């Protein structure tokens, strides 16, 4: 999510609880769908409410790894919504 966030920058995250908690434009922390040990910070670009899936996009389109490369994210992979940057 560069330039909004820098590498290793701390953020406050509100836990994801249910369908409808997220809106397009929200920034979320999610487990990468192909690597459970890797977290991504991305914006919600599209929501498929029928399947409870999210299309996530990065800000740096030319070099971002996001849903354009790994596909839609299931709700279970969403950890929460970024609510504040801590320094």
pLDDT digits (tens, 9 = 90+) for 43-84: 999 999 898 899 999 988 888 889 999 999 999 999 999 998
pTM of the model: 0.84
| Three-class DSSP category at 31 | strand
Residue 6, pLDDT > 90, answer: no
Contacts of 77 (CB under 8 A, 6+ apart): 30, 31, 32, 33
Q: What burial class does residue 12 get, using C-beta atoms within 10 Å of its C-beta: 0-12 exposed, 13-18 middle, 19+ buried?
A: exposed
Cα torsion 25, 26, 32, 37: sign: positive
- Domain map (residue ranges) of the chain: 11-85
- Is residue 52 within 8 Å of 69, Cβ to Cβ? no
pLDDT digits (tens, 9 = 90+) for 7-40: 778 888 888 776 567 999 999 999 999 999 999 9
> Homologous superfamily of 11-85 in CATH?
Umud Fragment, subunit A (2.10.109.10)
């Amino acid at each position: 999510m560069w330039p909004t966030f820098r590498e290793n920058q701390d953020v406050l995250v509100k836990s994801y609880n249910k369908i409808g908690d997220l809106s397009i434009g929200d920034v979320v922390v999610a487990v990468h769908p192909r690597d459970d040990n890797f977290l991504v910070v991305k914006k919600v670009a599209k929501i498929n409410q029928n399947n409870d899936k999210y299309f996530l996009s990065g800000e740096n389109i030319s070099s971002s790894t996001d849903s354009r490369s790994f596909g839609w994210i299931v709700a279970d992979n969403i950890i929460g919504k970024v609510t504040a940057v801590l320094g």
